[in-house]
Amino acid sequence: MTLRSFLFVPGDSEKKLGKGQAAGADALILDLEDAVAPARKALARDLVAAYLAAHGGAGPQLWVRINPLDEGGVADLAGIVRPGLDGIMIPKIDGPADVLRLGHYLDVLESRDGLSPGSVRILPVATETARAPLKIGHFADHVMPRLYGLTWGAEDLSTALGASTNRDETGSFAFTYRMARSLCLMAAKAAGVEAVETLYSDFRDADGLAASCAAAAREGFTGRIAIHPGQVAGINRAFSPSDEEVAHARRVLAAFAAEPDVGTVGLDGMMLDIPHLKQAQRVLARHESQPGERRPEVGLSRSGAGAGDPGAAA
């Protein structure tokens, strides 16, 4: 399943936890890290564990952002790896070694509680330390069946770099942070996993969110983090292929299926070749894999493209 929207919910707020289920997000990220004051970490851990027990398996997927492994993250895992947990977001990693370490902990904890081996997925925030962007390409060098995707963040990275801001004079991300974003996108594709766009901080700016999401989807990101329930519908819309895109993709597949022995076909006055076929297959794979969408007519066999392609839906 390709998840379009991940909604952050503070783990120490029963009120916000209660509202999260109805927000329409594909996944909730129950936060034990930055949204929770140090004095409330233990309370948040208990509330999140209870929420997983009550709501896991129904509605959106339930993920938890733990604290960094050496700053309370191991205790978080011991408390919340239970039935109902779909995934872990791990912040402030230095590289793949931290994710491999997390995977070993999950192996043990799944065994402890009778969870299916490998059922808990991992989404690292892979650019939040000075070392992390330099190592992000190495995710492609490791076999990580748990790895759902990679996402990035600019706030903690600017702190790690001692920057006064992560923005340039126009208000856009400065070059360093745009570079981190591009590295995240390329590393995810190289590793064959999903690329998840970072949050859009102004939750009142619906037009800006829509434009930013459209740009991210064009570039190859397949989902986005939300910080407010009001952002969810716009994110889901932006990262779902439109009816027109799906219809066109089906026509492309039909055109190639009608002439199986050729490498190029004509459609609407345009000559299409194998890259166009692969793109159409990816559009239909995304359409099929999203929550509530199951359309078995999607064909992915021509020219060996499809689910095994790094750009196809995981």
Give me the domains of the chain, ranges plus CATH numbers: 5-238 (3.20.20.60), 243-304 (no CATH)
pLDDT class for 7, splitting at 50, 70, 90?
very high
**Taken in order 32, 290, 19, 53, is the CA torsion positive or negative?**
negative
pLDDT over 70 at 211, yes or no? yes
pLDDT of 308? 33
**Would you say 274 and 303 are in contact if contact means Cβ atoms under 8 Å apart?**
yes
Chain centre to alpha carbon of residue 1: 11
pLDDT of 120? 98
Strand partners, 150: 195
One-letter amino acid for residue 157 of the chain: L
Q: Between 31 and 294, name the one with better pLDDT.
A: 31
One-letter amino acid for residue 32 of the chain: L
Q: Return all residues near 37 (Cβ < 8 A) that are at least 6 apart.
A: 12
pLDDT of 262? 78
pLDDT of 151? 98
| Alpha-carbon distance values, 82 to 86, 88, 90 (Å) | 9, 12, 17
What angle do the packed helices 243-258 and 274-289 form, to 10 degrees? 130
Q: What is the mean pLDDT of residues 185-200?
A: 98
Q: What is the mean pLDDT of residues 13-20?
A: 90
CA–CA separation, 34 and 280 (whole Å): 40
Q: What is the mean pLDDT of residues 3-11?
A: 97
Q: What is the mean pLDDT of residues 31-50?
A: 96
CB atoms inside a 10 Å sphere around CB 272: 19
> Among 160-164, 204-208, 257-261, 308-312, where is mean pLDDT lowest?
308-312
pLDDT class for 132, splitting at 50, 70, 90?
very high
Rounded to two decimals, the pTM is 0.84
pLDDT over 90 at 33, yes or no? yes
CA–CA separation, 203 and 297 (whole Å): 38
| Alpha-carbon distance values, 7 to 60, 142, 206, 207, 232 (Å) | 10, 28, 16, 19, 7
Q: Between 58 and 12, name the one with better pLDDT.
A: 12
